[in-house]
Amino acid sequence: MSRPSYSEIVASLPSVTPFVGPETIERQQGQPFRVRIGANESAFGVSPRAAAAMSEAARGVAWYCDPEGYELRAELARMHGVDIDNVTLGAGIDDLLGLIVRMYMNPGDAVAASLGCYPTFVYHVNGFGGRLETVPYRSDRNDLMALTDLAAKRKARILYLSNPDNPTGSYYGSNAIADLLERVPPDCLFILDEAYLDFVPTDTILPFDVDDPRLIRVRTFSKAHGMAGARVGYAIAHKEIIRTFDKVRLHFGVSLVAQVGALASLRDPQFVASVVKAVEAGRRDYVKLTEDAGISALPSQTNFVAFDFGTGERAEAVMNALIERGVFLRKPAAPGLDRLVRVTVGTPEDRAIFSELFRDVMKGM
Amino acid sequence: MSRPSYSEIVASLPSVTPFVGPETIERQQGQPFRVRIGANESAFGVSPRAAAAMSEAARGVAWYCDPEGYELRAELARMHGVDIDNVTLGAGIDDLLGLIVRMYMNPGDAVAASLGCYPTFVYHVNGFGGRLETVPYRSDRNDLMALTDLAAKRKARILYLSNPDNPTGSYYGSNAIADLLERVPPDCLFILDEAYLDFVPTDTILPFDVDDPRLIRVRTFSKAHGMAGARVGYAIAHKEIIRTFDKVRLHFGVSLVAQVGALASLRDPQFVASVVKAVEAGRRDYVKLTEDAGISALPSQTNFVAFDFGTGERAEAVMNALIERGVFLRKPAAPGLDRLVRVTVGTPEDRAIFSELFRDVMKGM
């Protein structure tokens, strides 16, 4: 039977989803996971104040959200010392990355990133018909010099960097990022994905320069704020760029519940500070665990630790054995990174269960 | 200063937002609206069961949603007598319309719709570089024959129809839609936007035919279910089309809170039935109000009534006078429809306040 044709770009896309959810694996395995430490969610939950605000908001959910997200944007602007016109909201960084790719990239254009970077960014570049150009990680860190060289050489429209990095956990401070910005070609948009920035010391963070028309910084409430299931993130950039988001974004796309919850969470900084502290303790536990097992772990400034199993085969074997035993985990697949398994910091109880299972699995390897 | 260029399509877009939120007008006017009956939200709120489920979900919002939305899709499939593979979720119909436009339309392609149709659909067609071809409404209804003729003549990739219609409130039953489907060109995708379908008698609804590769039907929890601020809707179509959504949709885009709330609302059909009944009473009140004022109202099968002021000038004057007095309202701007003001059915209390203000304004006209 004849049928309407898909658009040229969509017709050419493979059936690949960026991430399989743990619920899917649970349905396949016929049992729930005991420990969920595979998606860098926050095991420490959401601020009780934010939860209360969202519960209240749920009763008023018959009303559309404020499409301008005024109150949340105003609070973010105040906190970051920028103007409200320098802030836009999105339904998580995933949403914002799609919009940015659409805003800056024509089909066929080159985009530069590290080989093995955040899969949803790659999904958007492919999804809008772009051409991803990559350089490998170097010593398990993004190779900043190679990235800007690549962007210049390939005339990339966009350069993407996750800092702190996912999936390695590595981090560059303000000086390195400022140096990189000096080298970004003037006609290349630089996306600085700061999803994990809540976990780094504040004095290492590059100050905002919203006069730079080459830079969009994106952040999220999904990590330290413990709101992954609410879908809310934001971008900070030159106000002309923020106005351009208004030409493509879903104006009612950030739910009322998410907006209210994010605002309440911002006003509970003690909660986020306590999460950051708990995560630091968890990272130390994981480092000790790897040392005891005779393997290494990459230094991390995030809410996860990349365990280094030396080879992709061994990493895969250990991960699969742990998944079978009820631990939800993920690992990078890119060459050079495939020897890693990314372990999210769980609660002390999660870590106790995981440690026991991990030691057990490692004995058999 | 040189800056990165926008993509060709985005560079060509005007700065137009589909809808200005009532919050923006409130900020401009310096005072809140007394009655909010401008955005076809449900004044009758959300099911208490759904609100309770969302409150509970808010505490667990640190976890990502199920990217497959399995439970909600399974329940929708069961209800509608289709397979789970015939259902996909989106963050409201707005999200789904953007995805469908992207899936079927290349830049420069024609899309057919009524002149004055849902502005967010037009926003997406423009946003992805399409060319909107329109026919006017005929006797304040979508002109079904003219729409399919237009689609054939312009070789449209997509034909869009809202049924029941926004902004007129008019509705075609299953026979008329089946006839229309016979005439849709085989290479044209037909989007049947059924946002307001909960308000029509079930025996007038076209049964699902998920073998038809030309048809995508979209529905929402924003209207009768009272969940506009939660952002959740769904599409029902051929399973091959549903698989193609997976190539472009935001996999974690429908929040945990929204998924849980929608499922609970589906399981509370008495609540939705009570809303539908309350809305019918409200429509009758509005018809009486217009008769008393010596104007007419369009017949409506939705949760709003289009008041007919005869001329665009008069409609605009009455609406602006009401907005000044604290009533949030919207009106269509398209030629032929601009004499209408769209009044959402409010609660009996809302309607009492509105009626008084309306009579007062009409006296002065």
B90-139 pLDDT, tens per residue?
999 999 999 999 999 999 999 999 999 999 999 999 999 999 999 999 99
C-beta separation of B119 from B18 below 8 A: yes
C-beta separation of B244 from A16 below 8 A: no
* A213 interfacial to chain B (CB closer than 8 Å): yes
Structure pTM? 0.97
Name the CA radius of gyration of chain A, rounded.
Answer: 21
Q: What is the pLDDT of residue A17?
A: 82
Between 3.30.300.30, 3.30.310.50, 3.40.50.450, 3.90.1150.10, what CATH number should domain B17-45+270-363 receive? 3.90.1150.10
- pLDDT band at residue B297, thresholds of 50, 70 and 90? very high
- Interface A–B counts its CB contacts (< 8 A) at 284
Q: Which of B226, B244, B250 sits opposite A94 (nearest CB)?
A: B250
- The residue whose two tokens read 């760029």 is A241
Report chain A residues whose CB lies below 8 A from the CB of B98: 250
> What's the CA gap between B332 and A130, in Å, rounded?
38
- What is the distance in angstroms between the Cα of A49 and the nearest Cα belonging to chain B? 10
- What is the distance in angstroms between the Cα of B291 and the nearest Cα belonging to chain A? 29
Write out the two tokens for A328: 């939800």
Report chain B residues whose CB lies below 8 A from the CB of A155: none
Helix (H) or strand (E) holding B239: helix B239-245
Closest alpha carbon to A15 in B83, B102, B251: B251
Task: Determine whether the interchain pair A64/B55 forms a contact, defined as Cβ–Cβ distance below 8 Å.
Answer: no
- Assign A365 to helix, strand or coil: coil
- Is residue A310 classed exposed, middle or buried when 0-12, 13-18 and 19+ CB atoms within 10 A define those classes? exposed
Question: Is the pLDDT assigned to residue B285 strictly greater than 90?
Answer: yes
A-chain residue closest to B55, CA distance:
A55
Q: What is the pLDDT of residue A18?
A: 82
- What is the distance in angstroms between the Cα of B184 and the nearest Cα belonging to chain A? 11
Query: What is the mean pLDDT of the segment spanning B53-61?
Result: 96
CATH class of A63-267: alpha beta
Q: Output the DSSP codes for A8-30.
A: HHHHH-----S---HHHHHHHHT
Residue B8 dihedral angles phi and psi, to the nearest 5° = -60, -45
In percent, the amount of chain B with pLDDT more than 90 equals 97
CATH class of B50-267: alpha beta
Q: What is the ipTM metric for this complex?
A: 0.97
In percent, the amount of chain A with pLDDT more than 90 equals 97
pLDDT in tens, B87-100: 999 999 999 999 99
Average pLDDT for chain A: 97
Determine the Cα angle at A315 with ends A309 and A317, to 5°: 135
* A155 interfacial to chain B (CB closer than 8 Å): no
- What is the distance in angstroms between the Cα of B194 and the nearest Cα belonging to chain A? 18
pLDDT in tens, B202-247: 999 999 999 999 999 999 999 999 999 999 999 999 999 999 999 9
Q: Which of B105, B227, B246 sits opposite A61 (nearest CB)?
A: B227
Q: Which of B9, B14, B229 sits opposite A63 (nearest CB)?
A: B229
Question: Is the pLDDT assigned to residue A1 strictly greater than 70?
Answer: no
- What is the distance in angstroms between the Cα of A227 and the nearest Cα belonging to chain B? 5
Cα torsion for A64, A66, A67, A69, to the nearest 10°? -140
* B261 interfacial to chain A (CB closer than 8 Å): yes
pLDDT in tens, B4-13: 999 999 999 9
C-beta separation of B77 from B218 below 8 A: no
* B252 interfacial to chain A (CB closer than 8 Å): yes
pLDDT in tens, A35-65: 999 999 999 999 999 999 999 999 999 999 9
Domains A8-45+270-363 and A63-267 share a fold: no
Q: What one-character DSSP code corresponds to residue B67? A: T
* A70 interfacial to chain B (CB closer than 8 Å): yes
> What's the CA gap between B75 and B69, in Å, rounded?
10
Closest alpha carbon to A136 in A168, A105, A107, A108: A168
* B4 interfacial to chain A (CB closer than 8 Å): yes
- The residue whose two tokens read 């109150």 is A71
CATH architecture of residue range(s) A8-45+270-363? Alpha-Beta Complex (3.90)
Domain locations along chain A? 8-45+270-363, 63-267
> What's the CA gap between B62 and B255, in Å, rounded?
11
Question: Is the pLDDT assigned to residue B171 strictly greater than 80?
Answer: yes
Report chain A residues whose CB lies below 8 A from the CB of B216: none
- What is the distance in angstroms between the Cα of B357 and the nearest Cα belonging to chain A? 22
Instruction: Enumerate the β-bridge partners of residue A304.
Output: A344
Question: Is the pLDDT assigned to residue B257 strictly greater than 90?
Answer: yes
* B363 interfacial to chain A (CB closer than 8 Å): no
Residue A191 dihedral angles phi and psi, to the nearest 5° = -95, 120
Task: Determine whether the interchain pair A248/B13 forms a contact, defined as Cβ–Cβ distance below 8 Å.
Answer: yes
pLDDT in tens, A286-308: 999 999 999 999 999 999 999 99
- pLDDT band at residue B17, thresholds of 50, 70 and 90? confident
Q: Where are the alpha helices (DSSP H) in A133-196?
A: 144-153, 174-183
* A98 interfacial to chain B (CB closer than 8 Å): yes
> What's the CA gap between A205 and A222, in Å, rounded?
19
* A28 interfacial to chain B (CB closer than 8 Å): no
- What is the distance in angstroms between the Cα of B187 and the nearest Cα belonging to chain A? 4
Report chain B residues whose CB lies below 8 A from the CB of A4: 104, 157-158, 186-189, 213-214
Query: What is the mean pLDDT of the segment spanning A217-239?
Result: 98
Task: Determine whether the interchain pair A41/B64 forms a contact, defined as Cβ–Cβ distance below 8 Å.
Answer: yes
Report chain A residues whose CB lies below 8 A from the CB of B255: 91, 229-231, 255, 257-258
- pLDDT band at residue B365, thresholds of 50, 70 and 90? confident
* B156 interfacial to chain A (CB closer than 8 Å): no
Q: What is the pLDDT of residue A303?
A: 98
Q: What is the pLDDT of residue A364?
A: 84
Task: Determine whether the interchain pair A229/B63 forms a contact, defined as Cβ–Cβ distance below 8 Å.
Answer: yes
Interface-testing mutation among B209, B250, B259, B345, with chain A (most A C-beta atoms within 10 A)? B250
Query: What is the mean pLDDT of the segment spanning A125-149?
Result: 98
> What's the CA gap between A173 and A191, in Å, rounded?
16
B-chain residue closest to A227, CA distance:
B62
Closest alpha carbon to B332 in B196, B140, B89: B140
